Structure 1
Amino acid sequence: MLDRRLNAFRSDLADIALKGQVEAECFVTPEPAMVTLPVVALRPKPDLNVGIDTELLMGEEVQVFERKNGWAWVQAVDDGYVGYLPEETLGPVAATTHVVTVPRTFVYSGPDLRFPTRMALSMGSRLTISGEAETRGTRYLLLSDGDALVAPHLSPISDPPVPDYVTVAGLFLETPYLWGGKSGFGIDCSGLVQLAMRMAGQEAPRDSDMQASGLGVPVERAELRRGDLVFWKGHVAIMEDETTMIHANGNTMSVARETLEAAIERIGWLYGTPTSYRRPVAET
Protein backbone atom coordinates (compact mmCIF):
# COMPACT_ATOMS: atom_id res chain seq x y z
CA MET A 1 0.00 0.00 0.00
CA LEU A 2 1.35 3.42 -0.95
CA ASP A 3 1.77 5.95 1.84
CA ARG A 4 -1.28 8.23 1.71
CA ARG A 5 0.85 11.06 3.14
CA LEU A 6 2.98 11.11 -0.01
CA ASN A 7 0.63 9.83 -2.69
CA ALA A 8 -2.66 11.42 -3.79
CA PHE A 9 -5.17 8.63 -4.18
CA ARG A 10 -8.73 7.87 -3.09
CA SER A 11 -11.24 5.35 -4.37
CA ASP A 12 -12.91 8.05 -6.48
CA LEU A 13 -9.94 10.20 -7.50
CA ALA A 14 -6.18 9.87 -7.87
CA ASP A 15 -3.11 11.53 -9.31
CA ILE A 16 -2.59 10.62 -12.97
CA ALA A 17 1.00 9.75 -12.06
CA LEU A 18 -0.33 6.82 -9.99
CA LYS A 19 -2.31 5.24 -12.81
CA GLY A 20 -1.46 1.56 -12.89
CA GLN A 21 -0.39 1.62 -9.24
CA VAL A 22 -3.75 2.29 -7.56
CA GLU A 23 -7.41 1.81 -8.42
CA ALA A 24 -9.62 4.88 -8.70
CA GLU A 25 -12.74 5.92 -10.57
CA CYS A 26 -10.95 8.90 -12.09
CA PHE A 27 -7.36 10.02 -12.58
CA VAL A 28 -6.55 13.72 -12.90
CA THR A 29 -3.61 15.89 -13.85
CA PRO A 30 -3.03 18.38 -11.02
CA GLU A 31 -2.95 22.14 -11.47
CA PRO A 32 -0.29 24.36 -9.85
CA ALA A 33 -1.12 26.88 -7.13
CA MET A 34 0.64 28.80 -4.36
CA VAL A 35 -0.08 29.42 -0.67
CA THR A 36 -1.02 33.08 -0.15
CA LEU A 37 -1.47 33.24 3.64
CA PRO A 38 1.32 33.23 6.26
CA VAL A 39 0.70 29.70 7.60
CA VAL A 40 -1.88 27.18 6.40
CA ALA A 41 -2.68 23.87 8.08
CA LEU A 42 -2.71 20.76 5.90
CA ARG A 43 -5.20 18.17 7.14
CA PRO A 44 -5.89 14.51 6.31
CA LYS A 45 -9.59 15.32 5.79
CA PRO A 46 -11.52 18.41 4.63
CA ASP A 47 -12.68 19.20 8.15
CA LEU A 48 -11.50 21.99 10.46
CA ASN A 49 -12.17 19.74 13.46
CA VAL A 50 -9.57 17.22 12.29
CA GLY A 51 -6.03 17.56 13.62
CA ILE A 52 -3.35 18.83 11.28
CA ASP A 53 -0.63 16.76 9.60
CA THR A 54 1.69 19.63 8.73
CA GLU A 55 1.71 23.26 7.64
CA LEU A 56 2.52 25.17 4.47
CA LEU A 57 4.06 28.63 4.46
CA MET A 58 3.43 31.65 2.29
CA GLY A 59 4.90 31.17 -1.16
CA GLU A 60 5.01 27.37 -1.05
CA GLU A 61 3.76 25.72 -4.23
CA VAL A 62 1.25 22.88 -4.39
CA GLN A 63 -0.34 20.67 -7.00
CA VAL A 64 -4.16 20.78 -6.80
CA PHE A 65 -6.15 17.63 -7.58
CA GLU A 66 -9.60 18.79 -6.51
CA ARG A 67 -11.50 21.91 -5.44
CA LYS A 68 -14.77 21.11 -3.71
CA ASN A 69 -16.97 22.66 -1.02
CA GLY A 70 -14.38 25.30 -0.17
CA TRP A 71 -11.52 22.81 0.18
CA ALA A 72 -8.61 21.95 -2.06
CA TRP A 73 -6.97 18.52 -2.12
CA VAL A 74 -3.29 19.15 -2.78
CA GLN A 75 0.24 17.84 -2.75
CA ALA A 76 3.07 20.08 -1.56
CA VAL A 77 5.78 20.49 -4.17
CA ASP A 78 8.64 20.73 -1.66
CA ASP A 79 8.16 17.55 0.35
CA GLY A 80 5.33 15.75 -1.46
CA TYR A 81 2.91 15.82 1.49
CA VAL A 82 -0.74 15.30 0.52
CA GLY A 83 -3.74 16.77 2.31
CA TYR A 84 -6.59 19.25 2.40
CA LEU A 85 -6.52 23.00 2.96
CA PRO A 86 -9.09 25.77 2.53
CA GLU A 87 -9.34 26.73 -1.14
CA GLU A 88 -9.29 30.44 -0.24
CA THR A 89 -5.68 30.11 0.96
CA LEU A 90 -4.43 29.44 -2.58
CA GLY A 91 -3.61 31.73 -5.47
CA PRO A 92 -1.82 31.57 -8.80
CA VAL A 93 1.84 30.65 -8.88
CA ALA A 94 4.18 33.67 -8.96
CA ALA A 95 7.94 33.84 -9.20
CA THR A 96 9.32 34.46 -5.71
CA THR A 97 12.58 36.29 -5.16
CA HIS A 98 13.26 36.31 -1.40
CA VAL A 99 12.89 34.08 1.64
CA VAL A 100 12.42 35.03 5.31
CA THR A 101 15.56 34.01 7.23
CA VAL A 102 14.61 34.88 10.83
CA PRO A 103 12.14 32.86 12.93
CA ARG A 104 9.45 35.56 12.70
CA THR A 105 9.04 38.95 11.06
CA PHE A 106 6.36 41.53 10.30
CA VAL A 107 4.92 42.90 7.09
CA TYR A 108 4.32 46.62 7.55
CA SER A 109 1.87 48.81 5.62
CA GLY A 110 4.85 50.82 4.36
CA PRO A 111 8.57 51.26 4.90
CA ASP A 112 8.42 52.45 8.50
CA LEU A 113 8.51 50.39 11.70
CA ARG A 114 5.96 52.78 13.19
CA PHE A 115 3.37 51.91 10.53
CA PRO A 116 0.62 49.35 11.22
CA THR A 117 1.50 45.73 10.53
CA ARG A 118 -0.38 43.67 7.96
CA MET A 119 0.69 40.21 9.09
CA ALA A 120 3.51 38.19 10.62
CA LEU A 121 5.55 35.69 8.62
CA SER A 122 7.65 32.69 9.55
CA MET A 123 11.14 31.73 8.51
CA GLY A 124 10.90 29.93 5.17
CA SER A 125 8.14 32.13 3.76
CA ARG A 126 8.79 33.15 0.15
CA LEU A 127 7.97 36.54 -1.29
CA THR A 128 8.23 38.57 -4.46
CA ILE A 129 10.15 41.77 -3.80
CA SER A 130 9.67 44.65 -6.24
CA GLY A 131 11.66 47.48 -4.67
CA GLU A 132 13.34 48.90 -1.60
CA ALA A 133 13.33 52.00 0.58
CA GLU A 134 15.10 53.44 3.59
CA THR A 135 13.57 55.21 6.57
CA ARG A 136 15.66 56.69 9.39
CA GLY A 137 18.57 54.45 8.46
CA THR A 138 16.56 51.21 8.31
CA ARG A 139 16.40 49.49 4.95
CA TYR A 140 13.12 47.91 3.83
CA LEU A 141 12.17 45.61 0.97
CA LEU A 142 8.87 46.39 -0.75
CA LEU A 143 6.09 44.19 -2.08
CA SER A 144 4.15 45.19 -5.19
CA ASP A 145 1.34 46.72 -3.08
CA GLY A 146 3.73 48.92 -1.11
CA ASP A 147 3.84 46.76 2.01
CA ALA A 148 7.32 46.44 3.46
CA LEU A 149 9.59 44.12 5.43
CA VAL A 150 12.83 44.88 7.25
CA ALA A 151 15.53 44.01 4.72
CA PRO A 152 17.92 42.11 7.05
CA HIS A 153 15.10 39.65 7.79
CA LEU A 154 15.14 38.34 4.20
CA SER A 155 17.66 37.00 1.72
CA PRO A 156 17.45 36.51 -2.03
CA ILE A 157 16.47 32.95 -2.88
CA SER A 158 19.51 32.88 -5.15
CA ASP A 159 21.91 33.45 -2.22
CA PRO A 160 23.93 30.46 -0.98
CA PRO A 161 22.20 28.68 1.91
CA VAL A 162 23.51 29.00 5.46
CA PRO A 163 26.25 26.43 6.14
CA ASP A 164 25.01 24.95 9.44
CA TYR A 165 21.45 23.81 9.99
CA VAL A 166 22.01 23.32 13.74
CA THR A 167 22.59 27.06 14.13
CA VAL A 168 19.26 27.64 12.38
CA ALA A 169 17.51 25.19 14.69
CA GLY A 170 18.94 27.05 17.68
CA LEU A 171 17.16 30.22 16.59
CA PHE A 172 13.88 28.49 17.46
CA LEU A 173 14.67 27.92 21.15
CA GLU A 174 11.58 28.73 23.26
CA THR A 175 9.29 28.56 20.20
CA PRO A 176 6.03 26.89 21.29
CA TYR A 177 5.55 23.23 20.48
CA LEU A 178 2.71 22.55 18.04
CA TRP A 179 1.76 19.12 16.75
CA GLY A 180 2.10 19.33 12.97
CA GLY A 181 3.63 22.79 13.22
CA LYS A 182 6.32 23.93 10.80
CA SER A 183 6.71 27.64 11.49
CA GLY A 184 8.24 30.17 13.84
CA PHE A 185 4.86 30.46 15.58
CA GLY A 186 4.69 26.78 16.55
CA ILE A 187 6.69 23.75 15.48
CA ASP A 188 7.04 20.04 16.16
CA CYS A 189 10.15 17.88 16.34
CA SER A 190 10.34 16.79 12.71
CA GLY A 191 9.15 20.19 11.48
CA LEU A 192 12.14 21.76 13.23
CA VAL A 193 14.49 19.33 11.48
CA GLN A 194 12.89 19.89 8.09
CA LEU A 195 12.70 23.69 8.23
CA ALA A 196 16.20 24.14 9.65
CA MET A 197 17.69 21.81 7.06
CA ARG A 198 15.82 23.49 4.23
CA MET A 199 17.29 26.86 5.21
CA ALA A 200 20.70 25.19 4.98
CA GLY A 201 19.97 23.89 1.48
CA GLN A 202 19.26 20.31 2.55
CA GLU A 203 15.97 18.56 1.91
CA ALA A 204 14.38 16.36 4.58
CA PRO A 205 11.15 14.36 4.68
CA ARG A 206 8.38 15.83 6.82
CA ASP A 207 7.65 13.21 9.50
CA SER A 208 10.05 11.62 11.96
CA ASP A 209 9.42 8.08 10.74
CA MET A 210 10.26 9.19 7.19
CA GLN A 211 13.41 10.89 8.45
CA ALA A 212 14.42 7.83 10.48
CA SER A 213 14.08 5.51 7.52
CA GLY A 214 15.67 7.53 4.75
CA LEU A 215 17.55 10.64 5.86
CA GLY A 216 21.32 10.39 5.65
CA VAL A 217 23.22 7.40 7.00
CA PRO A 218 23.05 5.47 10.28
CA VAL A 219 25.72 6.01 12.94
CA GLU A 220 26.44 4.56 16.36
CA ARG A 221 25.69 6.42 19.56
CA ALA A 222 29.41 6.63 20.38
CA GLU A 223 29.96 8.45 17.06
CA LEU A 224 27.41 11.22 17.65
CA ARG A 225 28.50 14.75 16.79
CA ARG A 226 26.96 18.12 15.94
CA GLY A 227 24.18 17.80 13.37
CA ASP A 228 23.41 14.13 13.95
CA LEU A 229 19.84 13.06 14.68
CA VAL A 230 18.53 10.89 17.50
CA PHE A 231 15.25 9.06 16.96
CA TRP A 232 12.76 7.62 19.38
CA LYS A 233 9.44 6.11 18.39
CA GLY A 234 7.59 9.17 17.05
CA HIS A 235 10.28 11.70 17.99
CA VAL A 236 13.53 13.21 16.71
CA ALA A 237 16.16 15.47 18.25
CA ILE A 238 19.15 17.34 16.81
CA MET A 239 22.56 16.93 18.42
CA GLU A 240 24.13 20.31 19.16
CA ASP A 241 27.38 18.63 20.14
CA GLU A 242 28.41 15.18 21.42
CA THR A 243 26.25 15.41 24.55
CA THR A 244 23.60 18.15 24.10
CA MET A 245 20.56 18.19 21.84
CA ILE A 246 17.86 20.60 20.65
CA HIS A 247 14.31 19.42 20.05
CA ALA A 248 10.71 20.54 19.94
CA ASN A 249 9.05 18.45 22.62
CA GLY A 250 5.84 17.92 24.54
CA ASN A 251 7.59 17.96 27.91
CA THR A 252 8.45 21.67 27.91
CA MET A 253 5.93 22.34 25.10
CA SER A 254 8.65 24.30 23.36
CA VAL A 255 11.91 23.99 21.47
CA ALA A 256 14.39 23.28 24.24
CA ARG A 257 17.95 22.22 24.90
CA GLU A 258 18.85 19.28 27.14
CA THR A 259 21.49 16.60 27.40
CA LEU A 260 21.01 13.34 25.57
CA GLU A 261 21.43 11.41 28.81
CA ALA A 262 18.70 13.40 30.54
CA ALA A 263 16.36 12.96 27.59
CA ILE A 264 16.93 9.19 27.43
CA GLU A 265 16.15 8.86 31.12
CA ARG A 266 13.09 11.11 30.95
CA ILE A 267 11.59 9.66 27.78
CA GLY A 268 12.35 6.02 28.48
CA TRP A 269 9.42 5.19 30.75
CA LEU A 270 6.92 6.06 28.00
CA TYR A 271 8.67 5.60 24.64
CA GLY A 272 11.67 3.42 25.41
CA THR A 273 15.25 4.07 24.38
CA PRO A 274 16.32 5.68 21.10
CA THR A 275 15.55 3.54 18.07
CA SER A 276 18.33 4.89 15.83
CA TYR A 277 20.93 7.55 15.23
CA ARG A 278 21.52 9.13 11.82
CA ARG A 279 23.86 11.60 10.17
CA PRO A 280 21.85 13.70 7.68
CA VAL A 281 24.77 14.22 5.29
CA ALA A 282 27.25 11.45 4.65
CA GLU A 283 30.93 12.29 5.03
CA THR A 284 32.80 12.96 1.79
Structure 2
Amino acid sequence: MNFGIGDLSVIPLREQPSEKSEMVSQLLFGEVFEILENREKWTKVHTYSDNYIGWINEKQYQPISSTVYKELTSMPVICSLLPLALARSENKNIYISMGSSLPFFNNNKFMINEEIFQLEEMTLQTEMNNESICALALCFLNAPYLWGGRSIFGVDCSGLINVVYKMAGIRLKRDAWQQSEEGILLSFIEETRPGDIAFFHNEDGKVIHAGIILEDQRIIHASGCVRIDQIDHFGIYNQTQKKYTHQLRLLRRVSIA
Protein backbone atom coordinates (compact mmCIF):
# COMPACT_ATOMS: atom_id res chain seq x y z
CA MET A 1 0.00 0.00 0.00
CA ASN A 2 1.24 3.49 -0.89
CA PHE A 3 0.46 6.73 0.94
CA GLY A 4 0.43 10.46 0.34
CA ILE A 5 -0.05 13.87 1.95
CA GLY A 6 -1.57 17.08 0.63
CA ASP A 7 0.92 19.94 0.37
CA LEU A 8 -1.32 22.58 -1.24
CA SER A 9 -3.86 24.86 0.44
CA VAL A 10 -6.89 23.02 -0.90
CA ILE A 11 -6.99 20.02 -3.24
CA PRO A 12 -10.16 19.08 -5.14
CA LEU A 13 -11.31 15.50 -4.55
CA ARG A 14 -13.32 14.38 -7.58
CA GLU A 15 -15.80 11.59 -8.12
CA GLN A 16 -14.11 10.43 -11.33
CA PRO A 17 -10.58 10.88 -12.77
CA SER A 18 -11.40 14.00 -14.80
CA GLU A 19 -11.19 17.77 -14.33
CA LYS A 20 -14.81 17.90 -15.48
CA SER A 21 -15.96 15.45 -12.82
CA GLU A 22 -17.92 16.63 -9.79
CA MET A 23 -15.87 17.81 -6.82
CA VAL A 24 -17.23 15.66 -4.00
CA SER A 25 -14.87 16.91 -1.30
CA GLN A 26 -11.51 18.55 -0.67
CA LEU A 27 -8.22 17.67 0.96
CA LEU A 28 -6.83 20.37 3.20
CA PHE A 29 -3.14 21.05 3.63
CA GLY A 30 -1.37 18.34 5.63
CA GLU A 31 -4.09 15.68 5.38
CA VAL A 32 -2.92 12.14 4.65
CA PHE A 33 -4.42 9.30 2.65
CA GLU A 34 -3.95 5.81 1.27
CA ILE A 35 -3.35 5.50 -2.48
CA LEU A 36 -5.73 2.98 -4.03
CA GLU A 37 -5.04 3.34 -7.74
CA ASN A 38 -3.15 5.40 -10.32
CA ARG A 39 -4.70 6.14 -13.71
CA GLU A 40 -2.87 8.41 -16.17
CA LYS A 41 -2.52 11.74 -14.32
CA TRP A 42 -5.00 10.80 -11.58
CA THR A 43 -4.65 9.13 -8.19
CA LYS A 44 -7.51 7.44 -6.35
CA VAL A 45 -7.23 8.02 -2.61
CA HIS A 46 -8.87 6.96 0.65
CA THR A 47 -8.64 9.84 3.12
CA TYR A 48 -7.79 9.25 6.76
CA SER A 49 -9.52 12.26 8.30
CA ASP A 50 -13.03 11.49 7.05
CA ASN A 51 -12.81 8.02 5.48
CA TYR A 52 -13.68 9.29 1.98
CA ILE A 53 -12.71 8.01 -1.46
CA GLY A 54 -12.11 10.11 -4.56
CA TRP A 55 -9.63 11.15 -7.25
CA ILE A 56 -6.96 13.86 -7.05
CA ASN A 57 -4.47 15.17 -9.59
CA GLU A 58 -1.16 13.31 -9.28
CA LYS A 59 0.72 16.63 -9.18
CA GLN A 60 -1.15 17.87 -6.12
CA TYR A 61 0.38 15.77 -3.35
CA GLN A 62 3.61 14.27 -2.05
CA PRO A 63 4.19 10.57 -1.43
CA ILE A 64 5.05 9.54 2.12
CA SER A 65 6.32 6.28 3.57
CA SER A 66 4.13 3.80 5.40
CA THR A 67 6.13 4.60 8.55
CA VAL A 68 5.29 8.31 8.34
CA TYR A 69 1.64 7.52 7.59
CA LYS A 70 1.41 5.25 10.63
CA GLU A 71 3.07 7.87 12.83
CA LEU A 72 0.73 10.64 11.70
CA THR A 73 -2.41 8.54 12.06
CA SER A 74 -1.47 7.31 15.52
CA MET A 75 -0.90 10.75 17.07
CA PRO A 76 -3.40 13.54 17.81
CA VAL A 77 -3.95 15.81 14.83
CA ILE A 78 -2.84 19.41 15.38
CA CYS A 79 -4.84 21.85 13.26
CA SER A 80 -4.51 25.49 12.33
CA LEU A 81 -7.30 27.38 14.10
CA LEU A 82 -6.79 30.70 12.32
CA PRO A 83 -9.19 31.44 9.45
CA LEU A 84 -6.11 32.00 7.27
CA ALA A 85 -2.46 31.40 8.18
CA LEU A 86 0.83 31.83 6.32
CA ALA A 87 3.22 28.87 6.42
CA ARG A 88 6.80 29.52 5.29
CA SER A 89 9.59 27.15 4.32
CA GLU A 90 12.94 27.82 2.63
CA ASN A 91 11.39 27.12 -0.76
CA LYS A 92 7.86 28.48 -0.61
CA ASN A 93 5.15 30.39 1.18
CA ILE A 94 1.64 28.98 1.36
CA TYR A 95 -1.60 30.25 2.86
CA ILE A 96 -3.60 27.56 4.63
CA SER A 97 -7.22 27.49 5.75
CA MET A 98 -8.38 26.74 9.29
CA GLY A 99 -8.71 23.01 9.85
CA SER A 100 -5.51 22.25 7.92
CA SER A 101 -3.29 19.61 9.53
CA LEU A 102 0.18 20.47 10.82
CA PRO A 103 2.25 17.25 10.69
CA PHE A 104 4.82 16.72 13.45
CA PHE A 105 4.00 20.12 14.95
CA ASN A 106 6.48 21.41 17.53
CA ASN A 107 7.39 24.94 18.64
CA ASN A 108 5.37 26.58 15.88
CA LYS A 109 7.05 24.45 13.21
CA PHE A 110 5.85 21.41 11.30
CA MET A 111 7.19 19.15 8.59
CA ILE A 112 6.15 17.47 5.35
CA ASN A 113 8.78 14.91 4.40
CA GLU A 114 12.04 16.84 4.89
CA GLU A 115 10.56 20.30 4.31
CA ILE A 116 10.19 22.34 7.51
CA PHE A 117 7.48 25.00 7.68
CA GLN A 118 6.98 27.76 10.22
CA LEU A 119 3.71 29.54 10.88
CA GLU A 120 3.80 33.31 10.96
CA GLU A 121 1.08 33.22 13.59
CA MET A 122 -0.57 30.39 15.49
CA THR A 123 -3.57 29.87 17.71
CA LEU A 124 -2.84 26.82 19.83
CA GLN A 125 -5.45 24.17 20.42
CA THR A 126 -6.71 24.15 23.99
CA GLU A 127 -9.13 21.81 25.71
CA MET A 128 -12.20 21.52 23.49
CA ASN A 129 -15.82 21.55 24.60
CA ASN A 130 -19.24 22.33 23.15
CA GLU A 131 -18.61 26.07 23.32
CA SER A 132 -15.40 25.53 21.33
CA ILE A 133 -17.38 23.76 18.60
CA CYS A 134 -19.68 26.77 18.28
CA ALA A 135 -16.82 29.28 18.33
CA LEU A 136 -14.98 27.42 15.58
CA ALA A 137 -18.13 27.16 13.47
CA LEU A 138 -18.72 30.91 13.80
CA CYS A 139 -15.32 31.54 12.17
CA PHE A 140 -16.88 30.24 8.94
CA LEU A 141 -19.78 32.70 9.09
CA ASN A 142 -20.50 34.15 5.60
CA ALA A 143 -18.11 31.73 3.86
CA PRO A 144 -19.66 30.94 0.46
CA TYR A 145 -21.46 27.66 -0.09
CA LEU A 146 -19.44 25.34 -2.30
CA TRP A 147 -20.52 21.79 -3.07
CA GLY A 148 -17.74 19.53 -1.82
CA GLY A 149 -15.97 22.39 -0.02
CA ARG A 150 -14.17 22.05 3.32
CA SER A 151 -12.34 25.37 3.63
CA ILE A 152 -12.93 28.96 4.68
CA PHE A 153 -12.99 29.84 0.97
CA GLY A 154 -16.03 27.65 0.31
CA VAL A 155 -17.82 24.94 2.26
CA ASP A 156 -20.91 22.76 2.11
CA CYS A 157 -23.16 21.82 5.03
CA SER A 158 -21.48 18.55 5.98
CA GLY A 159 -18.02 19.91 5.16
CA LEU A 160 -18.54 22.62 7.78
CA ILE A 161 -19.40 20.03 10.42
CA ASN A 162 -16.59 17.72 9.34
CA VAL A 163 -13.87 20.38 9.60
CA VAL A 164 -15.16 22.00 12.79
CA TYR A 165 -15.23 18.65 14.59
CA LYS A 166 -11.82 17.77 13.14
CA MET A 167 -10.39 20.86 14.83
CA ALA A 168 -11.90 19.60 18.08
CA GLY A 169 -10.06 16.31 17.65
CA ILE A 170 -13.02 14.24 16.41
CA ARG A 171 -13.08 12.33 13.12
CA LEU A 172 -16.50 12.47 11.52
CA LYS A 173 -17.42 11.04 8.16
CA ARG A 174 -17.81 13.36 5.21
CA ASP A 175 -21.44 13.37 4.03
CA ALA A 176 -24.49 14.45 6.02
CA TRP A 177 -26.21 11.06 5.76
CA GLN A 178 -23.05 9.37 7.09
CA GLN A 179 -22.73 11.86 9.93
CA SER A 180 -26.38 11.28 10.86
CA GLU A 181 -25.43 7.74 11.93
CA GLU A 182 -22.73 8.87 14.39
CA GLY A 183 -23.05 9.87 18.04
CA ILE A 184 -26.01 9.67 20.42
CA LEU A 185 -29.53 10.08 19.06
CA LEU A 186 -31.58 12.78 20.80
CA SER A 187 -35.37 12.63 20.90
CA PHE A 188 -36.38 16.28 21.14
CA ILE A 189 -35.00 19.69 20.18
CA GLU A 190 -35.37 20.67 23.85
CA GLU A 191 -32.68 18.10 24.73
CA THR A 192 -30.05 19.73 22.54
CA ARG A 193 -27.19 21.89 23.69
CA PRO A 194 -24.77 24.06 21.71
CA GLY A 195 -22.48 21.93 19.56
CA ASP A 196 -25.04 19.21 18.83
CA ILE A 197 -25.83 18.40 15.19
CA ALA A 198 -29.23 18.66 13.51
CA PHE A 199 -30.07 16.80 10.31
CA PHE A 200 -32.77 17.57 7.78
CA HIS A 201 -34.49 15.51 5.10
CA ASN A 202 -36.27 15.82 1.77
CA GLU A 203 -39.72 14.56 0.81
CA ASP A 204 -38.36 11.03 0.44
CA GLY A 205 -36.98 11.02 3.98
CA LYS A 206 -33.35 11.16 2.83
CA VAL A 207 -30.93 13.22 4.93
CA ILE A 208 -29.78 16.09 2.71
CA HIS A 209 -28.68 18.86 5.08
CA ALA A 210 -27.07 19.40 8.48
CA GLY A 211 -26.05 22.17 10.85
CA ILE A 212 -24.61 22.86 14.30
CA ILE A 213 -26.90 23.92 17.13
CA LEU A 214 -26.13 27.26 18.81
CA GLU A 215 -27.67 28.91 21.86
CA ASP A 216 -31.13 30.50 21.87
CA GLN A 217 -32.74 28.09 19.38
CA ARG A 218 -30.35 29.03 16.61
CA ILE A 219 -28.38 26.95 14.13
CA ILE A 220 -25.32 27.67 11.99
CA HIS A 221 -25.35 25.95 8.61
CA ALA A 222 -24.20 26.35 5.00
CA SER A 223 -27.04 27.37 2.70
CA GLY A 224 -26.02 29.92 0.08
CA CYS A 225 -23.36 30.88 2.59
CA VAL A 226 -22.62 29.92 6.16
CA ARG A 227 -25.43 31.61 8.08
CA ILE A 228 -27.38 31.57 11.32
CA ASP A 229 -31.11 30.86 11.41
CA GLN A 230 -33.74 29.89 13.96
CA ILE A 231 -34.55 26.22 14.59
CA ASP A 232 -37.44 24.45 16.30
CA HIS A 233 -39.01 20.99 16.21
CA PHE A 234 -40.27 21.63 12.67
CA GLY A 235 -36.90 22.63 11.24
CA ILE A 236 -34.96 25.71 10.12
CA TYR A 237 -36.93 28.93 9.89
CA ASN A 238 -35.52 31.66 7.66
CA GLN A 239 -36.57 35.05 9.02
CA THR A 240 -35.83 36.82 5.72
CA GLN A 241 -37.94 34.45 3.65
CA LYS A 242 -40.54 34.07 6.42
CA LYS A 243 -40.72 30.31 5.95
CA TYR A 244 -39.24 26.96 6.93
CA THR A 245 -36.47 26.02 4.53
CA HIS A 246 -35.37 22.65 5.95
CA GLN A 247 -37.45 19.95 7.64
CA LEU A 248 -35.94 18.46 10.80
CA ARG A 249 -35.17 14.74 10.61
CA LEU A 250 -33.06 13.90 13.67
CA LEU A 251 -30.60 15.24 16.24
CA ARG A 252 -27.24 13.84 17.30
CA ARG A 253 -24.69 14.50 20.03
CA VAL A 254 -21.06 13.60 19.39
CA SER A 255 -18.96 13.39 22.54
CA ILE A 256 -16.11 15.91 22.65
CA ALA A 257 -14.26 14.36 25.59
**Equivalent position amino acid for 1:264 in 2:** I
**Equivalent position amino acid for 1:152 in 2:** M
Q: 1:189 aligns with which of 146, 151, 157?
A: 157
Q: 2:97 aligns with which of 122, 127, 130?
A: 122
Q: 1:90 aligns with which of 57, 61, 77?
A: 61
- Which residue of structure 2 lines up, in the alignment, with residue 254 of structure 1? 225
In structure 2, list runs of 5 or more residues that go unmatched. 202-207
Matched residue SS, 1:230: strand
Quote the Cα distance in structure 1 between the aligned partners of 2:254 and 2:105. 36
Contact 2:3 2:35 (C-alpha < 8 Å) held by counterparts: yes
- Which residue of structure 1 lines up, in the alignment, with residue 205 of structure 2? none
Quote the Cα distance in structure 2 between the aligned partners of 1:265 and 1:60. 36
- Which residue of structure 2 lines up, in the alignment, with residue 281 of structure 1? 255
1:106-185 aligned within 5 A? 106-108=86-88, 118-128=93-103, 141=109, 148-153=118-123, 155=124, 161-163=127-129, 164-185=132-153
Q: Which has the larger radius of gyration?
A: 1
TM-score (norm 1): 0.71
1:60-96 per-residue CA deviation (whole Å, 9 max, x = no partner) reads 1111011121100110012210111001112133577
Contact 2:236 2:244 (C-alpha < 8 Å) held by counterparts: no
Cα 1:269–1:241, aligned 2, differ >3 Å: closer, same or farther?
closer
Counterpart check, 1:34 vs 2:5: yes
Contact 2:86 2:95 (C-alpha < 8 Å) held by counterparts: yes
Quote the Cα distance in structure 1 between the aligned partners of 2:19 and 2:250. 35
Quote the Cα distance in structure 2 between the aligned partners of 1:147 and 1:272. 43
TM-score (norm 2): 0.78
Quote the Cα distance in structure 1 between the aligned partners of 2:43 and 2:218. 42
Cα 1:259–1:50, aligned 2, differ >3 Å: closer, same or farther?
same
**Equivalent position amino acid for 1:126 in 2:** S
Cα 1:40–1:168, aligned 2, differ >3 Å: closer, same or farther?
same
- Which residue of structure 2 lines up, in the alignment, with residue 15 of structure 1? none
- Which residue of structure 1 lines up, in the alignment, with residue 49 of structure 2? 78
**Equivalent position amino acid for 1:60 in 2:** E
Cα 1:146–1:31, aligned 2, differ >3 Å: closer, same or farther?
closer
CA RMSD of aligned residues (A): 3.1
**Equivalent position amino acid for 1:171 in 2:** C
Cα 1:90–1:269, aligned 2, differ >3 Å: closer, same or farther?
same
Q: 2:166 aligns with which of 192, 198, 203?
A: 198
Contact 2:50 2:162 (C-alpha < 8 Å) held by counterparts: no
Counterpart check, 1:264 vs 2:244: no
Q: Percent identity over the alignment? A: 26
Contact 1:225 1:242 (C-alpha < 8 Å) held by counterparts: no
Cα 1:202–1:88, aligned 2, differ >3 Å: closer, same or farther?
same
- Which residue of structure 1 lines up, in the alignment, with residue 17 of structure 2? 46
Matched residue SS, 1:53: strand
Higher strand share: 2
